[in-house]
Amino acid sequence: MLPQDESLEILEEFLREHHYEKVQDIPIRVILQLAHLVLKETAFVDGNKFYRQIIGGAMGSPFTLILANIFMWKWEKNVICSALEPNEIYGRCSFRAVRYSSTLDIFEKERRAIRLMLLYNGYPSRYMDTHFRKFFGHSMSKSSMLPFIDSENQFLAMRNTVLLKLSIKERDTQHRIATVPFSEKTDNRSTEEKTTRITTISK
């Protein structure tokens, strides 16, 4: 359940942070009044009893769904993003883009999509440029100059370097495999080949 007052505060913060002074010519003040009305004045009658919702909002309402997403935006921003290192998000995205792109053209499209996603979520261009240089500086060369990828061969060389590095999931899998207890005694019956016979009945 959404806490009503806190949700309204977060809605206002979201609108101001994303520079929405008006949404479809409706000012923030009016949007907040309407949101207050929807959240705090939800009521229904069952039999002869009148009920008013005092926690959360009507779950079938499209507005409540949007408000829940905005509430989660704030929570993720405060809890998850503050726990990550400064370049964690961009580094992971760049690492994934290099690993899964088979050509320079596909990689460039993926990199642009990552950049747009981060811009949309409020990351400044300077932040992205700094971490882009840092990531590709580690992946391509030992020099401090900005690495430019201008040919397919350079991209493939960088991709081969990155592919040698284990992803977080691969490291976790290797760790779990290494910690599995292994006994040298094996049961002969378990090593025998097992077969399954499938029979079909014709009509």
pLDDT for 143 equals 41
183 in a structural domain: no
pLDDT for 119 equals 80
Claim to verify: residue 78 and residue 106 sit in the same structural domain = no
Claim to verify: residue 12 and residue 77 sit in the same structural domain = yes
186 in a structural domain: no
155 vs 24: CA distance, rounded Å: 44
Claim to verify: residue 32 and residue 66 sit in the same structural domain = yes
Write the CA distances from 125 to 96, 132, 163, 203, integer angstroms: 20, 10, 27, 69
pLDDT for 146 equals 40
* Positions of the chain with pLDDT lower than 50, given as ranges: 87, 141-146
**Residue 131 structural domain:** 88-167
93 vs 91: CA distance, rounded Å: 5
pLDDT for 144 equals 38
168 vs 90: CA distance, rounded Å: 15
92 vs 100: CA distance, rounded Å: 12
pLDDT for 149 equals 63
CB 76 within 8 A of CB 14: no
pLDDT for 142 equals 45
Instruction: Point out the domain boundary residue: 83, 108, 143.
Output: 83
pLDDT for 66 equals 83
Residues 30-62 pLDDT 10s: 988 988 888 888 888 888 898 888 777 777 778
pLDDT for 194 equals 57
Claim to verify: residue 78 and residue 12 sit in the same structural domain = yes
Instruction: Report the predicted TM-score, pTM, of the whole model to 2 decimal places.
Output: 0.40
